[in-house]
Structure 1
Amino acid sequence: MCADTAETPDYKSTLNLPKTDFPMRAGLPKREPQWLDRWAKIGVYDRLREKALASQGEDQTTREPFTLHDGPPYANGHLHIGHALNKTIKDMIVRSHQMMGFDARYVPGWDCHGLPIEWKIEEKYRKKGKNKDDVDVVDFRQECRKFAEGWVDIQREEFKRLGITGNWDDPYLTMAYHAEAVIAGEFQKFLMNGTLYQGSKPVMWSPVEKTALAEAEVEYHDKESHTIWVKFKVAGGDQILAFGDEKVELYEKPEGKAAVDALAGAYVVIWTTTPWTIPSNKAVVFGKDIAYGLYEVTGTPEESWVKVGDKYLLADNLATEVMKRARLSEDQYTRLRDVRTGELKAICLNHPLAGAEGGSGEWDDIRDFREADFVTDTEGTGFVHCAPSHGMEEFELYRDLGMLEQVITYNVMDDGGFRAELPFFGGSYILNRKGGEGDANKKIIDKLVEVGGLLARGKIKHSYPHSWRSKAPIIYRNTPQWFAAVDREIGDGQDTHGKTIRDRALTSIDELVKWTPQKGRNRLHSMIEARPDWVLSRQRAWGVPLTCFVKKGLLPTDPGFLLRDDAVNARVVAAFEAEGADAWYMDGAKERFLGSDYNADEWEQVFDVLDVWFDSGSTHAFVLRDREDGTKDGIADVYMEGTDQHRGWFHSSLLQACGTLGRAPYRNVVTHGFTLDAKGMKMSKSLGNTIVPETVVKQYGADILRLWVAQTDYTADQRIGPEILKGVADSYRRLRNTMRYILGSLGDFSEDQRVDPADMPELEQWVLHRMAELDHKVRTGYQSFDFQGVFSAVFNFATVDMSAFYFDVRKDALYCDGDTLNARAARTVLDLLFHRLTAWLAPVLVFTMEEVWLERYPGDDSSIHLTDMPDTPADWLNEPLAAKWAGIRQARRVVTAALEIQRIDKVIGASLEASPVVHVRDETVRDALNSVNFADICITSDVALSGDPAPAEAFRMPEVDGISVVFEKADGEKCQRCWKILPDVGQHSHTDVCGRCDDALG
């Protein structure tokens, strides 16, 4: 230890105390923008690309390209904490790989098309009392484009403020002309390879937004819904004969006719939470292995819609609950008998509105009644009402039976209203314009009550799909849409990984992609394994249109329905390249693209726009494939997004690329969780628990936010809050102090002081071993995207191994020695340590490590981010030495703990006042302690080592066996320069210092 300079002013100038202008207080919020300006001025990102090009000379090793492909955020609104987490992880991946010797490229991008932007423009129109449909579509699209451009500029600056590096001057935008041309071209590949088709099936539909939605555009919230139990009367034999050959055959069998005769007039009861689907009902289905019974009402309460003698078919497991809902007690009904599956197969049903006055025969047709494997007896009644236009399971059932034409209805319009001519309900709405409850459900329930079709009603709160944009509930609605078939063989000659999109995707997941964390593989695999065909079309205006034509007068299943012509496709792509996708909407566009080869009057131009997930799923083509800073094979080294993107960008990119490239467009998929508040609650403005990146940056600085990312396990959900950020700031201060100490100690270091590792004392060689050990862990961690593991290892090394141990031990030599081996070796190690710590931490603390670097290497072109991680020689590793020093440090712990008791008891004020006796049972450990200056290691003036048994009063630590300490005060006088208490003080030319200090003074 050095002397207190206040007490020994005569020796202050003789001590080699740390000297640095590096401030203890960071002042990050004010200083970080200065470094941003500096990086922009010297063009750090561009210089790294030039460095990669320069490495391709004859005498240099080419830097291997490494490309993280950016999943595009949406150009709509300020950044939230999830954006900050996402982009920071990406930045750490890019920066760490660059510093490990790769040419790490990062092209940021934005998703610019789609409903959120269109919705904002419509909101603006509505405030002005303006109707979107009255505006020219190209003018409307231009407003959308301008809106997106504004938010791209805002978000770009917000991302840059977080220290994110990348090609900010030339990002990719899905609305750029080239991007729109490529998206159209990628769609045309589906058109030409036979996977594109037009079909009509129930899709998730937003009545408020008037468009189909993808699964990724849907989120689930609690919703209160009407729930009703509806009666379908079993039809008589004459009605069965009018239904169809299948039922006639069953009816004509003796047991079938008997079943119909026995059950005619009874009611099959269904339960639904969507009363608005009842007008579209076409059938009821039952389960194969469910036990059913026939129940008769024997008595009724005063308020009930049942009457004595009514007979109901119900699943036995659910009958009691259903009767309870009908307000019947157990003594008011009886079970008559079993109802066998064979009996159920023979009967048909009447719709509850059949024959209703004013119904115009709309519901008079007989309703099918058959078995289905999706029926259970866990809730409801054991029977399921089928409106195949509004339910996928029912649709698939009747599709597979070849009966869709008999069961599909078109009662619900794109705004969620019933068609005007629908009896009783025409013009009523499922939802109101803001997404609340419309009048349709009430009207239907009231009508069912009026005609005696209702058994019971109620309300239920349940999880229900909502549009994540408008936050309004959605419905399932049968509409003509364009699909990409995932199970249709593709004749494109790219069959290495499978012949269908699904096969190629599953093969890619299992064989071509590494998943971090591994559970991401399982999630996406199960989704792809079970997913239906991809709905590509949206009924909107702002997006890339489905650039195809259909032949008038033909059905989608007819040959020649779709125009497949390479020349037409090429004209479209060329126009988009020059003018953008607006070219599709210009006057005369159809004639222009069809050219003289086709009669434009015979063809219809499709004006649906592509699902925005197709846009972002195609980015690999116009970013990875087409750009100079892309990749040779169009495949990214890594995609990194939140876990929600298993059903979003990871998913759509996989499907799109498997349809065009034949495989996944990525080699690694890294997934992060969601950011929650400090209590683990989802952030919400209404709860007031949101953490905004801008607020954190203004209070603490971006490096603190980045450090929070590095400290957390991003693969799971993370928490953030004021107390958590305070803890992060404390970790930052400890690291900053470590770097400040190193800088101060190296203030006068010069190359002529450098010591060869082989000539260093053991303590320094141990530090070199730890650096070599850590270098491997850091590189392995960065390569596997384990930032928490990297930071934890570096932080513990810097604060525990270095600050709390090595720096503490070597302060005496650094401050008080003259030109000794110990001092020179220590400075050499600190120099080596400086270069490694700054490089290891630069991908995380981008601003602070730049500040540290410039403190030693100022200059207009200097930057830590233009350097690589220094090579760390493998021969620094020395496992035997490491094992020896592990034992020495264990012994030191016992001594330090023993002295701390004396200090607390005020026996001593500092450890240099002690000269303890250390009893060491193990001879090998004792020899190890004797081979080093153990007093310096313990920061005592002297130490005595003994192999004798320790006295009973000796200090011991239970976890360190065989080492005991007897406290003794140091003998001698206090050196007024180094403060050690030594016998030789007063025996030298400088009478108040020790021999070592006398030599240093000269």
Structure 2
Amino acid sequence: MCADTTDYKDTLNLPKTDFPMRAGLPKREPEWLERWARLGVYDRLRDTAGDRPVFCLHDGPPYANGNLHIGHALNKTIKDIIVRSHQMMGHDSRYIPGWDCHGLPIEWKIEEQYRKKGKNKDDVPINEFRAECREFAAHWVDVQREEFKRLGITGNWADPYLTMDFHAERVIAEEFMKFLMNGTLYQGSKPVMWSPIEQTALAEAEVEYHDKESFTVWVKFRVTEGGAAQMPLGHEGGDFDTANQALLADDLKDAFVVIWTTTPWTLPSNKAVVYGADYAYGLYEITDRPDECWANVGDRFILADKLAGDVLGRARLDAGMYRRVRDVTAQELSTIKLSHPLRGADGANGEWDDLRDFRAADFVTDEEGTGFVHCAPSHGMEEYELYRDLGMLSEVITYNVMDDGSFRPDLPFFGGKYILSRKGGEGDANKAVIDKLVEVGGLLARGKIKHSYPHSWRSKAPVIYRNTPQWFAAIDKDMSVGDDTFTIRDRALREIDNVKWTPKSGRNRLHSMMEARPDWVLSRQRAWGVPLTCFTKKGALPTDADFLLRNPEVNARIVEAFEAEGADAWYVDGAKERFLGGIVDPDAYEQVFDILDVWFDSGSTHAFVLRDREDGTPDGIADVYMEGTDQHRGWFHSSLLQSVGTTGRAPYRNVVTHGFTLDEKGMKMSKSIGNTIVPQEVIKQYGADILRLWVAQTDYTADQRIGPEILKGVADSYRRLRNTMRFMLGSMGDFSESDRTDPADMPELERWVLHRLAELDAEVRKSYRAFDFQNVFQVIFNFATVDLSAFYFDIRKDALYCDGDTLRRRSARTVLGLLFERLTTWLAPILPFTMEDVWLDQNPGEGSSVHLQDFPDTPESWRDAALAAKWELVRLARRAVTLVLEEQRRQKTIGASLEAAPIVYIDIDSSNTKAAFDICQRIDPEKAPNVVAYDVLNECDFADVCITSALDIRAERAPDGAIFVTSAMGFDVVFEKASGEKCQRCWKVLPDVGTHSHAGVCGRCDEALS
């Protein structure tokens, strides 16, 4: 037969699409953003919501003080996927972006500008300074808004919420007044974390921990006879015998109790030393000493036995230079009082002459130190609580440290010394204290230690604990909301269990924090924020019932002024008279000028966003709060406290948290290291959809990694998915409704695809509702690349390209349409730009957008477990055939699989081929497995499935000596070449080629050409 040279290429139904192979995302994404803005997609969804159930993700407000970092991109992308997916699952899904505009981060920036200009903040009228802060925040709101929009984040960008808006400031003040009126607000003086550099109290959420090198000292307190014994804590009513105590033993008189501290600057404020009632203590005497040692022969020290060797070693004393004299009992310790090391020092002016209290306490440890703890209750919470519970605070509280971290000017020896330098480094206070202790013989040893220490996350300078008058919300005091009486702590703990946590560990984290937290410090000593809108009575004490003015009429005046003028109204000259005049005597009250903790601002956002806005929520509760895991001690925490304190309930139903973003090696990102990934640069190189896909591919509930190599891998996944979508679009061509085939009439392969779609629909919706985007993308990606590209599309290319108007081809194109509808919508929340491009390929028009669509309903009738089992067996057998054909290609026996006509021998039994055996049993347990497999493979047109020109199936073992056999799950494949000629149109090798009216083609192609 002569070779046929007819070119049949133009007769094939080859894929045709304008959908580009190269995405060009950096250039094209801004065009889609402009298009969505023209369409007003977000507003159209709200306008057409009808009676759809409201779903609202409440935005945790970022600070408006700089460009976005990769953490912002991760955070906002997760939120956007949540919002978009719930919209497409039938909700009216609302997202109101917001910004935190008050507080130290912004105030600090303005002060930095002042310092550069040699300008003093205190010389600027306060409302002029506040106006500069407002302008600064407004600038960065605009910058960040555009950066967020570039990420493809949908939301009400035209009307975000800002904590500095007048209505917001009014509501924040109003929410504060609820604490004022319900009796939980009080003024107290206790140690709080204080930033000397910023001169304000800090919340736990405003503190981060870094290594710091500190001075460490071992200090001698001389033993003095104390008279009446102190009962150790925890022994009340027990066997501690005070009646039979002996007087202080002679060998303890003038001995020393040694304390160890890493904060020498707190020693001038020492008021006590405590010990552990259950530890073993001994009396140690010095018998010899080296040069340059601060202990003398004959000195006696009381030390915890477990730590004595270490302590004396620090003093340069070898084991042979001291002896343990005897035990020192708890009874004996209880008879002791101590002298401060500076007692009687020349020039001390009696400052430290009082004897120091000495008693047992349960926070003492014998794991490090000396077994004794020096107590300065003004600078330590445990010490403060100990003496508060004893009713002794008035005896032990000092006010030695000023706002700027300097000692009060009249403090002997140390007045005016700074704990920190003005730039946040080591000041001169520690050295001055240590030098004075050396001078008076109060030091046993000294050194330095590197340890984790709290720092302000803004100034990066160390913080101190400092006793200072602050305003607190009492979280263990009974209060009422309506007819409901509770404490904030108890109700918050109950509400935590009414919330769904993702991951579940978030519940335990917040619960443990809430169980242990102290009262809420509400006040800050700054200028930019919402003031504590309250007044105190002159001459009254904080404990007096009339200390705070609680007057609803005054409150109403304040909130009315704030609504019209903002919180600046509080600082206008004559504000006190304006708010109090005609109601109470203004001269009888002092106006409070502290501002509220910014965590109270952000904690109140549920009130002026969810409750007050028309696009809030019907019940004022958010469906989701979603932030980083650090917000368990931040926004999640403060929002729960604030909402419980004013409404008695949590402001959220779901709390979702993400981890931190690290570099490819798992290291924290740092500008100094040079390993930061800037979202704007990723977008410039790859496009926002690649960054969003990175978010979707990662387990965001843990710490994630990102870097150049990781982004290359993400881009590769994107390309594979895009190629699948492109093939689908090209093969749909001019498909119309008239081509649509009913699923009941489709071939089994198409019905199997529909079954998979039904399975996926349930999985995708379930995972979106569970905020598990990693699983969403994984199941869709595997389906697109494995089930479709490598299997279904691979098989159906022949029918799509070469068939005429056959049921098989119409069915395949119907399935492509159904795939298109689902894949584009399922992936739209993750890849909004790309899926818009895909959607418009088939649905052009100015008003068209995938983001106006819902996930299409997928009929449950598409599920067919029996059919799925059959095709599970088919794919198992296909793998066996593919292995043989690949080997033949490697050996160059064939160039393509269509040159083959293999023989498949089926030998399935329970002992060697369990996978295939189990599938056959599920399909038909009454038949022999090899018979089941034989029937299944014959019914599916297995040659087409394997993309071979012919294929013979035999329900028997392969003959002995057969070559090119592979055994895979009970399918033995013997390779044979196809017989006949190659069809010039479909390339199958068949015996009938050349016997039809069209030269050089097979019967199927001849019919198509006719």
- Whether the aligned pair in 2 keeps the contact of 1:954 and 1:964 (CA below 8 Å) is no
**Structure 2 partner of 1:58:** none
Cα deviations by residue, 1:106-161 (Å, 9 ceiling, x for unpaired): 00000000001000000111111111011100000000000000000000000000
Return the alpha-carbon distance in structure 1 between the equivalents of residues 581 and 784 of structure 2: 71
**Structure 2 partner of 1:501:** 488
Q: Specify the code of the residue in structure 1 equivalent to 2:942.
A: F
Flag the 1:78–1:253 CA change in 2: closer, same or farther, 3 A. closer
- Whether the aligned pair in 2 keeps the contact of 1:195 and 1:484 (CA below 8 Å) is yes
SS of 1:777's partner is helix
Q: 1:536 aligns with which of 487, 510, 522?
A: 522
Runs of 4 or more above 6 Å deviation = 238-241, 250-254
Flag the 1:366–1:795 CA change in 2: closer, same or farther, 3 A. same
**Structure 1 partner of 2:915:** none
**Structure 2 partner of 1:628:** 614
Deviation, 1:664, is 0.6
**TM-score, length basis structure 1:** 0.96
- Whether the aligned pair in 1 keeps the contact of 2:227 and 2:336 (CA below 8 Å) is no
Q: Specify the code of the residue in structure 2 equivalent to 1:504.
A: R
**Structure 1 partner of 2:925:** none
Return the alpha-carbon distance in structure 1 between the equivalents of residues 441 and 379 of structure 2: 24
- Whether the aligned pair in 1 keeps the contact of 2:182 and 2:479 (CA below 8 Å) is yes
- Whether the aligned pair in 1 keeps the contact of 2:6 and 2:999 (CA below 8 Å) is no
- The answer to whether structure 1 residue 610 and structure 2 residue 596 are counterparts is yes
Q: 2:867 aligns with which of 877, 881, 904?
A: 881
- The answer to whether structure 1 residue 143 and structure 2 residue 129 are counterparts is no
SS of 1:35's partner is helix
Q: 1:441 aligns with which of 421, 430, 448?
A: 430
Deviation, 1:957, is 5.4
**Structure 2 partner of 1:65:** 54
**Structure 1 partner of 2:396:** 407
Flag the 1:759–1:875 CA change in 2: closer, same or farther, 3 A. same
**Structure 2 partner of 1:554:** 540
- Whether the aligned pair in 2 keeps the contact of 1:237 and 1:261 (CA below 8 Å) is no
- The answer to whether structure 1 residue 430 and structure 2 residue 419 are counterparts is yes
Q: 2:935 aligns with which of 927, 932, 938?
A: 927
**Structure 2 partner of 1:986:** 994
Deviation, 1:493, is 2.7
- The answer to whether structure 1 residue 655 and structure 2 residue 650 are counterparts is no
**Structure 1 partner of 2:405:** 416
Return the alpha-carbon distance in structure 2 between the equivalents of residues 494 and 761 of structure 1: 67
Identity among equivalent pairs (%): 75
Q: 1:574 aligns with which of 560, 568, 571?
A: 560
**Structure 2 partner of 1:513:** 499
Flag the 1:939–1:494 CA change in 2: closer, same or farther, 3 A. farther
**TM-score, length basis structure 2:** 0.96
Return the alpha-carbon distance in structure 1 between the equivalents of residues 745 and 175 of structure 2: 64
Deviation, 1:288, is 1.2
Return the alpha-carbon distance in structure 2 between the equivalents of residues 259 and 164 of structure 1: 74
**Structure 1 partner of 2:944:** 936
- The answer to whether structure 1 residue 479 and structure 2 residue 468 are counterparts is yes
**Structure 1 partner of 2:252:** 263
Q: Specify the code of the residue in structure 2 equivalent to 1:13.
A: D
Q: Specify the code of the residue in structure 2 equivalent to 1:901.
A: E
SS of 1:668's partner is strand
SS of 1:825's partner is helix
Deviation, 1:262, is 4.1
Deviation, 1:491, is 2.2
Q: Specify the code of the residue in structure 2 equivalent to 1:968.
A: E
Q: Specify the code of the residue in structure 1 equivalent to 2:424.
A: G
Q: Specify the code of the residue in structure 2 equivalent to 1:507.
A: R
Q: Specify the code of the residue in structure 2 equivalent to 1:183.
A: I
Q: 1:302 aligns with which of 255, 267, 291?
A: 291
- Whether the aligned pair in 2 keeps the contact of 1:219 and 1:466 (CA below 8 Å) is yes
SS of 2:341's partner is coil
Cα deviations by residue, 1:564-610 (Å, 9 ceiling, x for unpaired): 01110111111000000000000010011112121111100000000
**Structure 2 partner of 1:92:** 81
Return the alpha-carbon distance in structure 2 between the equivalents of residues 237 and 899 of structure 1: 97
Return the alpha-carbon distance in structure 1 between the equivalents of residues 405 and 586 of structure 2: 34
Cα deviations by residue, 1:79-128 (Å, 9 ceiling, x for unpaired): 00000000000000000000000000000000000001000000111111
**Structure 2 partner of 1:947:** 955
Cα deviations by residue, 1:672-696 (Å, 9 ceiling, x for unpaired): 0000000000000011100000010
Deviation, 1:9, is 6.6
**Structure 2 partner of 1:890:** 876
Cα deviations by residue, 1:137-191 (Å, 9 ceiling, x for unpaired): 0000000000000000000000000000000000000000000000000000000
Flag the 1:254–1:42 CA change in 2: closer, same or farther, 3 A. closer
- The answer to whether structure 1 residue 977 and structure 2 residue 977 are counterparts is no
Return the alpha-carbon distance in structure 2 between the equivalents of residues 47 and 706 of structure 1: 24
Return the alpha-carbon distance in structure 2 between the equivalents of residues 402 and 957 of structure 1: 87
**Structure 1 partner of 2:40:** 43
Deviation, 1:955, is 5.0
Q: 1:131 aligns with which of 74, 96, 120?
A: 120
Return the alpha-carbon distance in structure 2 between the equivalents of residues 484 and 551 of structure 1: 19
- The answer to whether structure 1 residue 490 and structure 2 residue 490 are counterparts is no
- The answer to whether structure 1 residue 819 and structure 2 residue 805 are counterparts is yes
**Structure 2 partner of 1:333:** 322
**Structure 2 partner of 1:3:** none
Deviation, 1:989, is 0.4
Q: 1:26 aligns with which of 9, 18, 23?
A: 23
In the TM superposition, 1:829-868 aligns within 5 A as: 829-868=815-854
**Structure 1 partner of 2:1004:** 996
Return the alpha-carbon distance in structure 2 between the equivalents of residues 288 and 517 of structure 1: 42
**Structure 2 partner of 1:16:** 13
Q: How many residues end up aligned between the 2 structures?
A: 977
SS of 2:970's partner is strand
Return the alpha-carbon distance in structure 1 between the equivalents of residues 573 and 785 of structure 2: 70
- The answer to whether structure 1 residue 225 and structure 2 residue 231 are counterparts is no
Deviation, 1:12, is 1.5
**Structure 1 partner of 2:927:** none
Q: Specify the code of the residue in structure 2 equivalent to 1:50.
A: D
Q: 2:154 aligns with which of 162, 165, 180?
A: 165
Return the alpha-carbon distance in structure 1 between the equivalents of residues 674 and 435 of structure 2: 42
Return the alpha-carbon distance in structure 2 between the equivalents of residues 954 and 372 of structure 1: 86
Q: 2:384 aligns with which of 374, 395, 405?
A: 395
Flag the 1:494–1:227 CA change in 2: closer, same or farther, 3 A. farther
- Whether the aligned pair in 2 keeps the contact of 1:260 and 1:346 (CA below 8 Å) is no
Return the alpha-carbon distance in structure 1 between the equivalents of residues 639 and 288 of structure 2: 62
Deviation, 1:15, is 0.4
Deviation, 1:236, is 3.7
Return the alpha-carbon distance in structure 2 between the equivalents of residues 662 and 252 of structure 1: 48
Q: 1:772 aligns with which of 744, 758, 767?
A: 758
- Whether the aligned pair in 1 keeps the contact of 2:225 and 2:248 (CA below 8 Å) is no
Cα deviations by residue, 1:813-847 (Å, 9 ceiling, x for unpaired): 00000000110000000000000000000000000
In the TM superposition, 1:766-805 aligns within 5 A as: 766-805=752-791
In the TM superposition, 1:708-747 aligns within 5 A as: 708-747=694-733
Flag the 1:559–1:988 CA change in 2: closer, same or farther, 3 A. same
Q: Specify the code of the residue in structure 1 equivalent to 2:96.
A: V
Return the alpha-carbon distance in structure 1 between the equivalents of residues 282 and 556 of structure 2: 65
Gaps of 5+ in 1: 1-6, 56-61
- Whether the aligned pair in 1 keeps the contact of 2:898 and 2:947 (CA below 8 Å) is yes
**Structure 1 partner of 2:623:** 637
- Whether the aligned pair in 2 keeps the contact of 1:237 and 1:260 (CA below 8 Å) is no
Deviation, 1:953, is 3.9
Deviation, 1:748, is 1.5
Flag the 1:120–1:74 CA change in 2: closer, same or farther, 3 A. same
- Whether the aligned pair in 2 keeps the contact of 1:235 and 1:264 (CA below 8 Å) is yes
Return the alpha-carbon distance in structure 2 between the equivalents of residues 828 and 507 of structure 1: 53
SS of 2:57's partner is strand
Return the alpha-carbon distance in structure 2 between the equivalents of residues 680 and 590 of structure 1: 55
SS of 1:667's partner is strand
**Structure 2 partner of 1:366:** 355
Return the alpha-carbon distance in structure 2 between the equivalents of residues 572 and 709 of structure 1: 45
- Whether the aligned pair in 1 keeps the contact of 2:902 and 2:950 (CA below 8 Å) is yes
Deviation, 1:962, is 1.3
SS of 2:969's partner is strand
Gaps of 5+ in 2: 908-929
